[in-house]
Amino acid sequence: MPPRLPAGDQQLVQIVDAALAEAARKSGPWLACRPGCTQCCLDPFPISQLDAARLRQGLAQLTKGEPARAKRVRRRARDFVRRFAPAFPGDPDTGILDESAAGQARFADFANDEPCPALDPRTGLCDLYTSRPMTCRTFGPPVRSGPDGALGVCELCYHGATDQEIAACEMKPDPQNLEEELIREAEEADGVRGETIVAFCLIR
């Protein structure tokens, strides 16, 4: 039984998706993201328990509508965990990442270039696209991140654009900081705290 998402998750998704659409409009041809481009689907990345709950709910819905497709997603997730659990920088029983400096250093070299289990290798499309994590929803356009608030973009995008033109396309995905409160709600509801990765959340 997938966990129940906080009531505000749909509002957050709508806000972030609207911000992406506006950034894409401003970016025009500089934004290289297209169906079949899988640049952001390689290498595991941390996801919140809110993202994890959304993904599990999406997988449950896929199981009802397209069970064979959902079975392939689960098989890819189990295969990922089987191969990489011994080197997992965290608790392989729970899938919770070690957030210490040492754990983060280990994560930097963990399962590099491995595709996300939600990615269909035959089509290059995400089988859980409508339920994808926030990182996936904000990848591509210029977004500020890190302690210094640096503006980062996908390496495939904005070729030929000046720094000023890139900055003018900046995406501000969650200006009211709704996600932080919703993550707390998701952690309290599920009784699990800390970040995980897509593969581990899909085998729970």
- What are the angstrom distances between the C-alpha of 103 and each of 3, 17, 86, 144? 27, 31, 14, 23
Q: What is the mean pLDDT of each run of 10 residues along the chain (204 residues)?
A: 85 96 95 89 96 97 97 98 97 96 96 97 96 94 83 91 95 94 94 96 93
Q: What is the pTM of this model?
A: 0.94
Q: Which residue has the tokens 């409009």?
A: 25
User: Which burial class, exposed, middle or buried, applies to 29 when counting CB atoms under 10 A from its CB (0-12, 13-18, 19+)?
Assistant: exposed
Predicted pLDDT at 34: 87
Distances (CA, A) of 138 to 96, 144, 146, 185, 187: 23, 10, 14, 22, 22
80 SS3 class: helix
Contact 151, 178 (CB under 8 A): no
pLDDT of residue 204: 86
For residues 72 and 76, give the distance between their C-alpha atoms in angstroms, rounded to a whole number: 6
pLDDT of res. 1:
66
**Cβ-contact 18, 10 below 8 angstroms:** no
Task: Could you list the beta-strand ranges (E) of the chain.
Answer: 90-91, 96-97, 119-120, 125-126, 143-145, 150-152
